[in-house]
């Protein structure tokens, strides 16, 4: 059995990218086309001729048909749709790894953290100014309590943000 070289494989891969193949099907289609190419090589065609035949069969129309057929078949079921978030619906069949999906998923948390951080810093500033104007500092005065409350809010926001970042880093494949 004749094998494709990495260069020949990457030419097939480029063709698939050029025809706008669904990300989820990329590896399988690459294997499929590579198998076809190897069959042609085995029959005695040279690679360029095999590639031409394959790219004729797997042209933009065929891949478009595949994509449409795919979206029809593998669409979310009724129960899945009921449990799906808007993000899931918008990003169905789209590239979730690209980053926008993650940003949207993390948005509520980021917003909450930013709010807590902002309020905390403001409260700290106010209590600091009031302490400054009084000229004395006591942790048991109202401004002292406000300082502690603001500090813990800032600590909480920064802490959860940092913790989440660590978790994401940890989860990412190396």
Partner 1 sequence: MEATSNEFLRGTLKTIVLKLLAEQGRMYGYEITQSVKERTNGEITLTFGALYPVLHKLEQEDFLVTVSEEVDGRLRKYYSLTPSGSESAIQKVSDFERFVEAMQKLLQPNEGLTLNPIKS
16 binds partner 1 (CB under 8 A): no
CA 148: distance to chain centroid?
Answer: 38
Half-sphere exposure of 35 (CA within 13 A, CB side): 6
Q: How far is the CB of 35 from partner 1 (least distance, A)?
A: 4
> Cβ atoms within 10 A of the Cβ of 148, count?
15
Interatomic CA distance for residues 33 and 93, integer angstroms: 22
Judged by CB under 8 A, which stretch of 24-32, 45-53, 100-108, 147-155 contacts partner 1? 24-32
Q: Which of 51, 58, 124, 157 binds partner 1 (CB under 8 A)?
A: 58
Using CB under 8 A as the binding rule, whether residue 70 contacts partner 1 is answered as: yes
**Comparison of 2 and 112: residue with beta carbon closer to partner 1:** 2
Task: Give the C-alpha separation, 57 to 114, whole Å.
Answer: 53
- Binding status of residue 62 toward partner 1 by CB under 8 A: yes
- Reference 165, options 118, 109, 112, 111; nearest CA is 109
Binding site for partner 1 (CB under 8 A): 3-4, 6, 9, 24-25, 27-32, 34-36, 58, 62-63, 65-66, 69-70, 72-74
């Amino acid at each position: 059995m004749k094998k494709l070289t990495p260069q020949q494989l990457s030419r097939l891969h480029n063709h698939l990218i050029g025809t706008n193949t669904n990300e989820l099907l990329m590896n399988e289609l690459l294997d499929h086309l590579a198998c076809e190419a190897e069959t042609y090589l085995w029959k005695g065609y040279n690679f360029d001729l095999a590639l031409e035949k394959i790219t004729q069969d797997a042209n933009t129309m065929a891949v478009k048909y595949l994509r449409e057929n795919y979206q029809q078949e593998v669409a979310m079921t009724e129960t899945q749709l009921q449990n799906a978030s808007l993000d899931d619906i918008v990003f169905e069949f789209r590239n979730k790894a690209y980053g926008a999906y993650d940003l949207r998923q993390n948005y509520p948390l980021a917003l909450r953290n930013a709010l807590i951080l902002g309020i905390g810093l403001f409260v700290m500033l106010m209590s600091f100014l009031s302490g400054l104007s009084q000229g004395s500092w006591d942790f048991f005065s109202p401004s002292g309590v406000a300082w502690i409350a603001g500090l813990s809010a800032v600590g909480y926001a920064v802490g959860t943000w940092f913790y989440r970042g660590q978790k994401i880093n940890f989860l990412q494949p190396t």
